[in-house]
Amino acid sequence: MSDHNLDIVLVENDASLRHAMQRMLQAAGCNVTTFCSAKTLMEQGIDQARQCDCLVLDICLPGISGIDLFCTLRKGGPLPPCIFITGHDSLGQRDSAIRSGASDYLLKPFTGTSLLDAIVRAAAA
């Protein structure tokens, strides 16, 4: 993969998946900041979330869902593009993600290439 030099904020509660995505994106040249929950991002990473090139949010997070997190952050002003990821697809959830302004919606398991391609498309839009 080529060097993309994009700043990515990733919120994923599954530690092994979070680390795997972080390593893959870093190998592609991205700068990745990770959070294990919406609460952690809200407490420690709001500025990073607002200033990054792309948000990657798991929908099924403990406490606040990724969709609710994105909507809450958006109330504070413009946000970078957002890609939602999930292992629990449903038509209602997909519709909610799209209505909230998702740039993309990826079903787990997805390939690293699929994720990186979605991020590059979102950041270029």
Question: For 22-81, how does the pLDDT look when each residue is reduced to its tens digit (9 = 90+)?
Answer: 999 999 999 999 999 999 999 999 999 999 999 999 999 999 999 999 999 999 999 999
Mean pLDDT, residues 15-24 taken together: 97
Q: Is 124 exposed, middle or buried (0-12, 13-18, 19+ CB in 10 A)?
A: exposed
Residue 114 banded pLDDT, cuts 50, 70, 90: very high
Parse the chain into domains and list their residue ranges. Answer: 7-124
Does position 90 have pLDDT exceeding 50, yes or no? yes
Give the pLDDT confidence score for residue 3 in this predicted structure: 57
Residue 4 to residue 115: CA distance in whole angstroms: 13
pLDDT over 50 at 1, yes or no: no
101 against 43, higher pLDDT = 43
> Could you give the CA distance from residue 78 to residue 51 in angstroms, rounded to a whole number?
10
Residue 93: per-residue pLDDT: 85
| The CATH number of domain 7-124 is 3.40.50.2300 | yes
Radius of gyration for the chain, computed over Cα atoms and rounded to the nearest angstrom: 13
pTM of the model: 0.94
Cα–Cα dist 41/107, whole Å: 22
C-alpha–C-alpha distance, residues 22 and 17, integer Å: 8
Asked if 12 and 108 count as a contact pair (C-beta separation under 8 A), the reply is no
